[in-house]
Every structure is written in structure tokens, then in C-alpha cells.
Chains A and B, each alone.
Chain A
Amino acid sequence: AAGVIQSPRHLIKEKRETATLKCYPIPRHDTVYWYQQGPGQDPQFLISFYEKMQSDKGSIPDRFSAQQFSDYHSELNMSSLELGDSALYFCASSLTPPDTQYFGPGTRLTVL
């Protein structure tokens, strides 16, 4: 079965640079979620989109923005990167209903 695709899988950036993470949901899924997971921590919800509209917002810094496109893929844009942004970033997708979230393999972002 098709899964959530994330790219790139690894990304290394310098402080103050920008990064763009991409997420391709499972076919027919209409909802995308973004999470940030620090080492040894649980995933922290950043933002979600339903039918290309922002649905909910969590602890997402103002330096970050995201959108969902007409083909349902989503991009997380991160600007003015800080050392503390180094983490695993996961995208999850779901079909509403039943809303079970399926996670992608993640993008490991390292900020030097």
C-alpha cells in the first residue's frame, strides 16, 4: 500500500538559512499534519490542513509557514533557521473520516 512520502529525507542547513520540506500524502487522503520531534521527545503538533485550508495550528514558530496545494501535497517552509530547529519533521495524512493519522518516514533537519 502507498504510504506518506517526505522529501528530502535529510537536510543540512546553516543558521539563518531557509528550508522547504515536502510531504505527499497517501492517495485520497485529504488532511495533512506536520509534527516536530526532538531527540527523545514525543512528536509536537505544528499545523494541519484539511482540503487545502489550514485547519489547526500548534506550536509552530512564526518563522515557519506551510500550505497544502491542489494535489494535496504540502510544504513546510522554515526561515531564519536556528540551532534549536534541528529535529525530525514528520508529516502525517488522514482521510476525514475516520481520521487515523499515518506518518511518513520523516525529514531529519540539522542546522549548523
Chain B
Amino acid sequence: QQQVKQSPQSLIVQKGGISIINCAYENTAFDYFPWYQQFPGKGPALLIAIRPDVSEKKEGRFTISFNKSAKQFSLHIMDSQPGDSATYFCAASKRAGGTYKYIFGTGTRLKVLA
């Protein structure tokens, strides 16, 4: 059972457009929500992250919107560029033992058309 549900599975956006990727979770114990960008054959790279006490966080062209009551969060990529074409994973984190355990969404393959 996927604890973090991510949609859409794939997304095609025109250059300059807005890319929106959504994630939903069930477990209220999650308290950290990062987004990762992954290019083929490379490791996931942290893009931006948010904690549930904040409803929005913006870093450059990337914004996370967080709705605690709905248990949903989303990534907005403004002015999308062809170089943004990659797979994006949301994750939810909760404390497990002495560390924080990440549960990843299933990923969204984004293609930005030039």
C-alpha cells in the first residue's frame, strides 16, 4: 500500500508554463516533506522541503504548498524550462528509531517542451 500517493504519473508542459505535481499522505506522524529531482542514472537531488507548521515555501522558481488538514502538498515549478525535464519525487518523513525514515511517492516524469 502506497503511503504517499503522487500524481500525475507524467506531465508535459510548454516552456514558460507552470508545472504542478501533487502528493497526498495518510499518516499524521509525518512531519517533514521534501521534494527531490532525479535525472536518468543520477541520484535524487533535494529541491525544496517543508514542515507542517508552514503552508507555503518558495525557493526561486519552486514553491511547495502544504495543506495540513487535507494531508496534501504540492510542488509548483514556475516558468518551466526544458532543463527541468526530470522525474520528481515527493517524500514524507517520520521518526523511526534514531533516524527519520522517508516514504517516497511513485514519481512524476516531467517533460518541458522547448
Contact = CB atoms under 8 A, between A and B. Distances in A.
B66 interface: no
A42 B32 contact: no
A43 interface: yes
Contacts of B103: 45
Interface string A36-57: 0000111111001011010110
Contacts of B58: none
Contacts, number: 71
B29 interface: no
A44 B107 CA distance: 12
Interface residues of A, number: 29
A103 B98 contact: no
Interface in A71-107: 88, 90, 94, 96, 99-106
B99 A43 contact: no
Interface of A: 4, 31, 33, 40-45, 48, 50-51, 53, 55-56, 58, 88, 90, 94, 96, 99-106, 108
Closest 7 CB pairs of A and B: A103-B43, A50-B98, A55-B97, A42-B104, A99-B100, A56-B96, A55-B99
28 contacts: A4-B43, A31-B99, A33-B102, A40-B107, A41-B106, A42-B89, A42-B104, A42-B107, A43-B44, A48-B96, A50-B98, A51-B98, A53-B98, A56-B96, A90-B44, A94-B99, A96-B99, A99-B93, A99-B100, A100-B49, A101-B34, A103-B36, A103-B43, A103-B46, A104-B43, A105-B42, A105-B43, A106-B42
